[in-house]
Amino acid sequence: MLVARELTKSFPSGDRTITVLRDVSFTIADGEFVAIVGPSGSGKTTLLGLLAGLDAPSAGSVRLDDVDLATLSEDARARLRGAKVGFVFQSFQLIPTLTALENVRVPLDLRGDESAQSRATELLARVGLADRVHHYPVRLSGGEQQRVAIARAFVNSPSVLFADEPTGNLDQSTGLRIVELLEELNRDAGTTVVIVTHDTELAAHARRIIRLSDGLVVEDREHTA
Amino acid sequence: MTMRWRALVALAWRDTRTTRRRLVLSMSSIAIGVAALVAVDSYSANVVRSIHVQARSLLGADLSVSASRPLPAQVTALLDSLHARGATDTRVTTFSSMALVSGSEGTRLVQVRAMGAGAPYYGVIETSPADKWQDLQSGPYAIVDSSLLVALNANIGDTLSLGYARFAILATLRNVPGDIGIAASLGPRVYIPDRYLGATRLLTFGSRAQYEALVKLPSSVNPDALAKAHRDLFDSLQVRARSVADTERSLTRSIEQLGRFLGLVGLIALLLGGIGVASAMRAYMAEKIDTIAILRCLGASGSQVFAIYLIEAAGLGLAGAAMGVVLGVAAQMALPHVLGSFIPVDVTPQLEWIPVLGGLALGTWVGALFALGPVLGVRNVTPLQVLRRDTDDAAQRAARSPWRDPARLAAGAVLMASVVAVCMARAESAIFGLWMSVAIGAAIGATWLAAVACARGASRLATVPSRFVVRHGVANLERPGNQTRPVVLALGFGVFLLGTLALVQGSLLRELASTADASAANLAFFDVQTDQAFLLDTMLRQRDYPVLARVPIVPMRIAALASPRRAKSETRRETKGASPRASERPSWAIRREYRSSYRDSIAPSERLVAGHWWKTDGPDRDGVFEISLEQSLAEELGVVLGDTIAWDVQGVRIRTRVTSLREVQWTRFEPNFFVVFQPAALREAPQSFVLLTRVRDDAERAKLQRDAVQRFPNISTIDLSLIENAVGKILDRVSVAVRFMALFSVVTGALVLVSALAASRRQRVREGVLLKTLGATRGQIASMLLTEYALLGAIGSAAGIVLAVGGAWAAMHFIFQAQFALAPLPLAVVAVATMVLTVVIGLVAARDVFAETPMTALREV
């Protein structure tokens, strides 16, 4: 369960303060597939950062599985992410100096999990990259890189997966396959998926849509594909 | 055209806008090499200039005539004849003796210089209190090194005994033109007036002294021409004549040699920096692929893009070289403190334009050439890469394999040719320069191989550690785009220099100590006259000190050398009378004075390598005695077993035949000899003795020396522990100088590391942020970085140490011909220091990795 309560985020800019998010509250239940949508500059990415504990809010709180992220130190938040959170980024964010397999292993390696090798191999096979495991990111196409990123996001069996414009850098058909992969993993593993996008077609795959505009939640509705 | 170039320069300038600081940092690694060269060359030019200005003060005269025996009558007659032309001359006699001060306990072996009135004619011997030099001749006075006062616990005004004479200590020496600072550590100097020399009664039979006449010539007489005109006479009498020009020439040559040696270190630092520049530039160009592709899309031709980056490379080379020049001029000001004690002149540092401009040009050229390789890779970037980033691959591959690119091969060839040209320009001769460049290439090549091997070994190890953070840190060393090799190369070279130095110094000191242990004796009495030998022997035995040896010494010269193997015209070589032409001047080995001994058995410090030792007292039926030669002397003289040599022993001719050759351990404390005779040959000859004893207690040893010198004032003593001290001191001073230069390559190593880290900073920050996003704690990230940098330092150290052990072994084996001793402690210190340095620099450079929040991962597209 992911609970956002009255989240506000402001940045100082010169002698003014810019408020990017204002009193955002919602609850996302386990196993949901949610899309956070809105135009550029509406505060989507900032919200995602707060929900994942990558950043701290100026006011309000985020509770992940009943743990208030604000009460945790930076390292404790990192450990929590390692255990419960997965990420998929628009720009893939693979570590260029690691092979596909090594990239996927990282979250488990960081925890000292012995099953890293077998689990990473299995997930890469599942995203269709069984024959590319030892390739470095630079040798993979965009779609392949994003599949590696998804395998990495799922390797630690997260309770929630955050995806930031996961198809933004991909062509339509590749993007579609990525979304289907996310849906499949959401369905099979019961992982909560939170996608941030301005792509309405992508958002249409979600079962709930939260719309932001100028830092405010302007719409929060169930959606049936 | 000009316009277009101006536009390209402007583009190049703008292109570096966000990376200028980092680029300048990467160029700073070249700056250190330039700094070393500028500092050494400028200082050496300063010294040469000072030598030129001070040459007459260094010699103290227009002409110096010296010999190891009183100047022969022909020479004094010649000097007298010069008086008519307005010349004046005075005498300086230099020898070793024991000095003691009434009322103090110690004695000290000193270098006595008995100065004639007026000496030196040029230059001022500075004293403390000031201006006491002019009072020296006014009575039985002495002016001494302040170290002697310390050693003897004496003060100015005390009475100093030299032999049978006494002198009041007038002042201490502050500066003697022409003397190098470390001279005093061999034996404190004592200046006395020449007219009291006889009263000391120190110059007895067998004493070694240098007799010198200082000549002041009127300006109408050219000292060089004078020396040349009488060269044959001087040679035939074994007299050495030196003019001001000779002094200047030989000093300048030594300084230039020192400069060349130290410059070599600078050159290597420059090349190491260059390798660092190439590596930083490669990382920079990889980042620039997008920009280049965009420029190509916008219509820039391949050659225009190449020109832009070539301009950047040259500009950076210039910036690095300029930094180096500034640093070098600053370091030049520090060099007098480091090298001052080896330099015989007072040096006022001043700006030397030739080294400055040379350093600037060389630094720019080398920097640009090293940067050229990666820059050439831009020609492979196509406009298509704007659209498809994945075609990076081809460009990067091309950038990584220079072997298939003729332009890059040509750039490499030009670079090598430049290095060879620089070496040849700096060396004494072209061939020596060629060898120097081969040596540099071999040294860098060997470090490179060691670096590659160590890095490979580390990557093999990468799968072994069970902890992920350690494994990740290890694996980083062999990741694509890693900077392991240049960093290890640069660090390794510094360790190599410092390690070799530490090992050689340690081995020499250990050799000295082990020799000391092997020698049963630790105190030697020399210049003991025949009548004193028995008395001293008795004195030692009465005090229960053993007389370990009583070695006779007989001074002599070679009268004639006959070797059947020589060409007919050379078969007999008379060294007296006839005056050979300068080109056929006999070698020093033939002209020198020998101090030989006789005995019936071989000494423990010797080994027979050819022939056999005599069984009789001698001589054979023809009146020829057997002798044994030290093997290198036999080579020098060109004699083999069976050859005959006639000796002039105090006017008596003794015929001998070489019947054995010996290898001699010269480092042993016992007196060693080039030539040993059958006893009957010299038993009746005038001789002096060396007596050896062992006194364990320092205080007892000091007392014994004092008592012996008081009773036999002409006798000198050598205390083994003082020799060890002196050698230790000299080694220390030498190693400070070499270490100062080695420091340049260590700093270069550190800078290559800094610039390598700066070059990969973006990638590291990004990776760190990602890892944090994926759940890594700061501790885990720190462990990864720690592992990586500690390993980098360890590999650098390992590569350097492997080479240092090899280098030190070779130096001990081939140069010092002594036992190599592996001392783990100094190596461990160097290795640990390198690791700590690497880790500290690495972690400081990585502070951004800790500071960035994981939010950056979301924002960066």
Average pLDDT of the residues in B271-278:
82
Is B78 within a domain?
yes
How far, in Å, CA of B268 to CA of B258, rounded? Answer: 16
B406 and B364 inside one domain: yes
Chain A residues inside the 8 Å CB shell of B858 = 45, 48-49, 54, 89, 164
How far, in Å, CA of B337 to CA of B809, rounded? Answer: 30
CA distance B753 to chain A (A): 19
**Dihedrals φ, ψ of B108, to 5°?**
-145, 140
Give the pLDDT of residue B400.
53
Interface test with B, best of A9, A46, A54, A108 (most B CBs within 10 A): A54
Closest CA to A98 of B607, B462, B574: B462
How far, in Å, CA of B793 to CA of B781, rounded? Answer: 18
Q: Mean pLDDT across chain B, nearest whole number?
A: 81
Structure tokens given for B349: 């540092």
pLDDT tens for B488-513 read: 887 888 888 788 878 887 887 777 77
User: How many Å is the Cα radius of gyration of chain A?
Assistant: 17
Which of A85, A93, A97 is opposite residue B857, by nearest beta carbon?
A: A93
Give the pLDDT of residue A33.
93
B601 and B646 inside one domain: yes
B321 and B194 inside one domain: no
Residue whose pair of structure tokens reads 């003082």 in the numeric block: B722
Least confident of A170-179, A196-205, B330-339, B732-741: B732-741
Burial B57-88 (b: 16+ CB within 10 A, else e): bbbbbbbbbbbeeebbeebeebbeebeeeebb
- Decide if A97 and B396 are in contact by the 8 Å CB cutoff: no
Which of A90, A93, A110 is opposite residue B468, by nearest beta carbon?
A: A110
- The set of residues, in sequence order, having a beta carbon less than 8 Å from that of B592 and lying 6+ positions away, is B238, B557
A139 CB within 8 Å of a chain B CB = yes
B402 and B508 inside one domain: no
Tell me which of B172, B193, B220 is where a domain ends: B220
- Decide if A54 and B396 are in contact by the 8 Å CB cutoff: no
Average pLDDT of the residues in B25-42:
85
Chain B residues inside the 8 Å CB shell of A111 = 775
- Decide if A109 and B468 are in contact by the 8 Å CB cutoff: yes
**Pairing, β B523-529 against β B88-101:** unpaired
CB atoms within 10 A of CB A216: 14
Considering chain B, what percentage of its residues have pLDDT values greater than 70? 90
Which of A55, A116, A156 is opposite residue B855, by nearest beta carbon?
A: A55
DSSP string, B710-744: HHSTT-EEEEHHHHHHHHHHHHHHHHHHHHHHHHH
Is B535 within a domain?
no
Least confident of A37-51, B51-65, B480-494: B480-494
Q: Which domain holds residue B743?
A: 449-519+723-861
How far, in Å, CA of A151 to CA of A120, rounded? Answer: 7
Is B250 within a domain?
no
B347 and B422 inside one domain: yes
Is B230 within a domain?
no
Is B371 within 8 Å of B317 (Cβ atoms)? yes
Tell me which of B672, B693, B714 is where a domain ends: B693
- Decide if B776 and A97 are in contact by the 8 Å CB cutoff: no
Is B717 within a domain?
no
Residue whose pair of structure tokens reads 């000295």 in the numeric block: B512
B679 and B818 inside one domain: no
pLDDT tens for B105-134 read: 778 888 899 999 888 888 888 888 888 898
Closest CA to B260 of B272, B252, B249: B252
- Decide if B481 and A138 are in contact by the 8 Å CB cutoff: no
Which of B774, B777, B857 is opposite residue A107, by nearest beta carbon?
A: B774
Residues making up chain A, counted from first to last: 225
CA distance A94 to chain B (A): 8
Q: Output DSSP code: residue B811.
A: I
Is B717 within 8 Å of B808 (Cβ atoms)? no
B80 and B186 inside one domain: yes
Is B115 within a domain?
yes
Is B162 within 8 Å of B114 (Cβ atoms)? no
How far, in Å, CA of B849 to CA of B218, rounded? Answer: 77
Alpha helical stretches, state H, B340-483? 353-376, 392-400, 406-426, 430-461, 468-475
Is B240 within a domain?
no
CA distance B757 to chain A (A): 15
- Decide if A54 and B777 are in contact by the 8 Å CB cutoff: no
Q: Mapping DSSP to helix (H, G, I), strand (E, B) and coil, where does residue B510 land?
A: helix
Assess whether pLDDT exceeds 70 at residue B860: no
User: What CATH number has the domain spanning A32-56+82-222?
Assistant: 3.40.50.300
Is B711 within a domain?
no
Average pLDDT of the residues in B729-737:
73
B406 and B365 inside one domain: yes
Least confident of A106-110, B732-736, B827-831: B732-736
- How big is the CA angle at B739 (ends B737 and B743), to the nearest 5 degrees? 120
Closest CA to B490 of B456, B438, B443: B443
CA B431 to chain centre: 22
ipTM of the complex in this document = 0.76
Domain count, chain B: 4
**Pairing, β B688-693 against β B549-562:** antiparallel
**Pairing, β A59-64 against β A2-13:** antiparallel
Is B716 within 8 Å of B526 (Cβ atoms)? yes
A191 CB within 8 Å of a chain B CB = no
Assess whether pLDDT exceeds 70 at residue B185: no
**Which residues of chain B approach chain A closer than 8 Å at the C-beta?**
390, 392-393, 396, 467-469, 471-472, 475-476, 479-482, 763, 767, 770-780, 853-855, 857-861
B577 and B493 inside one domain: no
Which of B471, B773, B776 is opposite residue A87, by nearest beta carbon?
A: B773
- Decide if A78 and B775 are in contact by the 8 Å CB cutoff: yes
CB atoms within 10 A of CB B140: 17
B195 and B296 inside one domain: no
How far, in Å, CA of B791 to CA of B475, rounded? Answer: 10
B623 and B659 inside one domain: yes
B408 and B454 inside one domain: no
E strand residue ranges, B145-260: 159-162, 165-175, 189-193, 209-216, 240-243
